[in-house]
Amino acid sequence: MQSISPEIMFRGNNAWEKALPQITKITNSPIILGRSIYTLDLRNKIFKDLKDHNLNPDLVDLKFDCCYEDIARIKNIISTKNHDSVIAAGGGKVLDSGKYLAEILDIPCITVPLSASTCAGWTALSNIYTKSGQFIKDIALRSCPKILVYDHKFIQTAPSRTLASGIADALAKWYESSITSSAIDDGLVQQAIQISRVLRDQLLIDGEKAFKFESENNQSWRNIIEACGLTAGLVGGLGGEKCRTAAAHAIHNAITQIISPNKFLHGEIVGVGLLLQLRLEEIKNNNKLANQSIKQLVELMQKLNLPTTLAQLGINVFENQNANKIADFTCREESEIHFLPFEICKEDIVEVIENFEQQKIKI
Ligand SMILES: [Zn+2]
């Protein structure tokens, strides 16, 4: 079974207003799920608009993360109050929680991303973390959201840092899917990989422009927020589990085990993981283009104020066995690192991390 995309999507300015008649057709009593204090005004607007359309909405906040504790608590609220849909309005953690809750309660999910930081508004996937943000596992869901509302006016209110994070996460699509899946003889997977290549090119060409000139009339900005929030999701939907994540996300998951909770965004960590993946490819798979890719990515990432080293993520890899801790989690049995077409052991990860931090290998 494969769910390629949300059933219906509204995009552009005022997508929320355009979506309202459709939303009223599928729900009477939605719960609006959010988290950040910064998105409260938007969630209050969503609440008021739903009220004005004669629905009975309620607001609820995640206390921690997309974690089992919050999910159990909110599941209880939804069941007790008989809510018949989840409207997840926020960033990746909120969207993932909303999709997961809707799945286990068998009610529709409407995703309303409030930043371009991830493609979680699109995908049939939820990443589960601990209360303090340590990655546990990802869960494949039966379907993508029922309705995706990608309102540019909403997304415009998000800090530019979230866009930079979304760019790093979307860039990883090409580098991860092409290395894990190019040998797969499946037309759809091949096409998904090529979409991720075009996506990468657009991010490299327009990413900086979009980051610097955020305004609703800026075509680069519009293209890039949709690349991060929509196209990156389409690649996952079309390519399915064969179009897999690889080292960049595996290293991200490991870094979340030791990083200060909630200090960095998903894509900010994935970006560093991506640079380390390329170095692994260079050393272990004789990828002669990897160093050039690293240079190209570092240049863009610096312009986007993204971290490019573990030190910039607040981690000293020469202390507290940190390099070993990252290597252990990266190489655990169920890790995506093993989707790489070459063998990787813990010592390789430690070596690459330490060399990278010391910049022994010239960028
Ligand atoms: Zn990601």
Q: What is the dihedral of CA 1, 251, 33, 78, to 10 degrees?
A: 60
Query: What distance in Å separates the CA atoms of residue 244 and residue 95, rounded to the nearest whole number?
Result: 20
> Residues 60-85: pLDDT tens digits?
999 998 999 999 999 999 999 999 99
pTM (2 d.p.): 0.95
By the CB criterion, residues less than 5 angstroms from ion ligand 1 are 169
Amino acid at 85: S
Cβ neighbors of 38 (< 8 A, separation 6 or more) are: 159
Residue 112 pairs in a beta bridge with 89
Query: In the chain, at which residue ranges do the beta strands (DSSP E only) sit?
Result: 8-12, 30-34, 58-61, 85-90, 109-113, 125-129, 135-140, 147-151
Quote the DSSP letter at residue 223: H
Q: For position 244, what pLDDT does the model report?
A: 72
What is the whole-number distance in angstroms between the Cα of residue 119 and the centre of ligand 1? 8
The structure tokens listed for 80 are: 């007790």
Cβ neighbors of 248 (< 8 A, separation 6 or more) are: 172, 175, 176, 270, 273, 274, 276, 277
Three-state secondary-structure class, residue 129: strand
What is the whole-number distance in angstroms between the Cα of residue 357 and the centre of ligand 1? 23
What is the whole-number distance in angstroms between the Cα of residue 267 and the centre of ligand 1? 6
Three-state secondary-structure class, residue 225: helix
What is the whole-number distance in angstroms between the Cα of residue 205 and the centre of ligand 1? 21
Residue 9 pairs in a beta bridge with 148
> Residues 91-143: pLDDT tens digits?
999 999 999 999 999 999 999 999 999 999 999 999 999 999 999 999 999 99
